[in-house]
Amino acid sequence: MTESPAPPATQPRSTSSPTAHVSARSVAAACAASGRFALAIIGPGALGLHFAARLEGVVPVALIARDAAAAARLRAGVEVDGRGFRPQAFGPEQAPEADWVIVLVKAGDTATAAATASRMRPLGVLSLQNGLTGELLRAHCAAPRVDQGITTEGAYRERGDRGDRVHPSGAGETLVPPGFEAVAELLVRAGLRARVAPDIAHARLAKLLVNAAINPLAALFRVPNGALLDPPHRVLLDTLVREALPVLRAQGLDLDEAAALARVHAVAHATATNRASMLQDMLAGRRTEIDAITGALLRMAADRAVDLPAHRAVHTLVCALEP
């Protein structure tokens, strides 16, 4: 993720409270008896594991991996934030029922994740993915509530001889749409900053602006976010912001040029040492989320018969460098 980390949560971590542990054990026993989880996370990447590890002392969490073999590796244990973590992991075909499902897969895997979520018979499915994936999720998911929030939590995975390690890379905030109050409450109980945002559409557009400016340039130049504030990258960063702004304002983004530039610069400064998610994908030889980020912006522009040559160029370059 590339948004700016918010100040650390002021609430004590729920896992440090004896009462919370007793409550979590009681809920875990109930889940074991019923076979239904209170919460599930589809996508055990760095961020999915970060969320699951924080939530484990509050509520039983089902972690849905790409396949049964990946789930078995996760159950063997992974280090998250310096501690051993053995998640209750499942393959898609073994996914249990759950009240609420958070989707944290890469944008290209959204349709598959939506099908898995539907089989879990949830009350609601919440995307916290990069890009604008809400419409695609709704098109493939039959849950009563399906929507997209945003999160500025960050984490990265480090692979080594002794197994994977997941490191948080800055405390952020998670915004959820109305109707997902229960999810926000669970996140807060786990010591994460979360709230319901009635203006979630504006927040999604603001995050798209930040991601469309920072992610492709970080991936193309293979630099941490902070380097984009220095020459020669700064002029390209500002060009992407200025070019995107009229299209996003037409969609409802309430930022003028000075505020838009200030927001993107603040994110790049606050996450100066971080590697953007698109850069991490590029370095790992994975498909990037360029179509869900820059591609989404270009589709908005096309609907208004507007050309965005700078964004079109970086889209073409990133696609050319993808595996």
Tell me what pLDDT residue 14 has: 34
89-124 pLDDT tens trace = 999 999 999 999 999 999 989 999 999 999 999 999
Tell me what pLDDT residue 31 has: 57
295-302 long-range contacts, CB within 8 A, separation 24+:
295/131, 296/131, 296/132, 296/208, 297/208, 297/212, 297/244, 297/247, 297/248, 300/247, 300/248, 300/250, 300/251, 301/247
Tell me what pLDDT residue 134 has: 86
Mean pLDDT of 247-251: 97
Class of domain 14-197: alpha beta
Mean pLDDT of 182-205: 96
Least confident of 3-12, 99-108, 153-162, 197-206: 3-12
93 vs 172: which has the higher pLDDT: 93
Residues 41, 62 contacting (CB under 8 angstroms):
yes
Neighbours of 305 (CB within 10 A): 6
Tell me what pLDDT residue 87 has: 96
Closest of 292, 319, 295 to residue 106, by C-alpha: 292
Does residue 32 register a pLDDT over 60?
A: no
Residues 103, 110 contacting (CB under 8 angstroms):
yes
pTM of the model: 0.83
Tell me what pLDDT residue 181 has: 97
Whole-number percent of the chain with pLDDT over 70: 89
Provide the mean pLDDT of the chain: 88
Least confident of 16-25, 38-47, 103-112, 263-272: 16-25
The helix/strand/coil state of 192 is: coil
In degrees and rounded to multiples of 5, residue 44 shows phi and psi of -90, 50
155 vs 25: which has the higher pLDDT: 155
pLDDT class of 74 with cuts at 50, 70, 90: very high
Question: Which one of the listed residues 106, 189, 207, 275 is annotated catalytic?
Answer: 207
Tell me what pLDDT residue 7 has: 36
Does residue 6 register a pLDDT over 50?
A: no
- Burial bucket for residue 9 (CB in 10 Å: 0-12, 13-18, 19+): middle
Q: How far is CA 59 from CA 23, 62, 176, 189, 221, in A?
A: 8, 10, 19, 9, 41
Does residue 224 register a pLDDT over 60?
A: yes
DSSP 129-185: -SSS-HHHHHHH---SEEEE-EE---EEEEEETTEEEEEE----EEEE-TT-HHHHH
Residue 67 DSSP code: S
Domain ranges of the chain: 14-197, 201-321
pLDDT class of 27 with cuts at 50, 70, 90: very low
| Chosen CATH of 201-321 out of 1.10.540.10, 1.10.1040.10, 1.10.10.60, 1.20.120.1200 | 1.10.1040.10
Q: Is the peptide bond before 232 cis (omega within 30 degrees of 0)?
A: yes
Number of residues that make up the chain: 323
Closest of 78, 89, 175, 79 to residue 126, by C-alpha: 175
The tally of CA atoms less than 13 A away on the side-chain side of residue 265 is 13
Tell me what pLDDT residue 125 has: 97
Residue 245 DSSP code: H
274-300 pLDDT tens trace = 888 899 899 989 999 999 999 999 999
Estimate the crossing angle of helix 46-55 against helix 181-189, to 10 degrees: 80
Euclidean distance between CA atoms 156 and 225, whole angstroms: 14
Neighbours of 78 (CB within 10 A): 22
What the block records as the tokens of 254 is 């309430």
The helix/strand/coil state of 120 is: coil
106 is catalytic: no
Closest of 225, 256, 220, 219 to residue 241, by C-alpha: 256
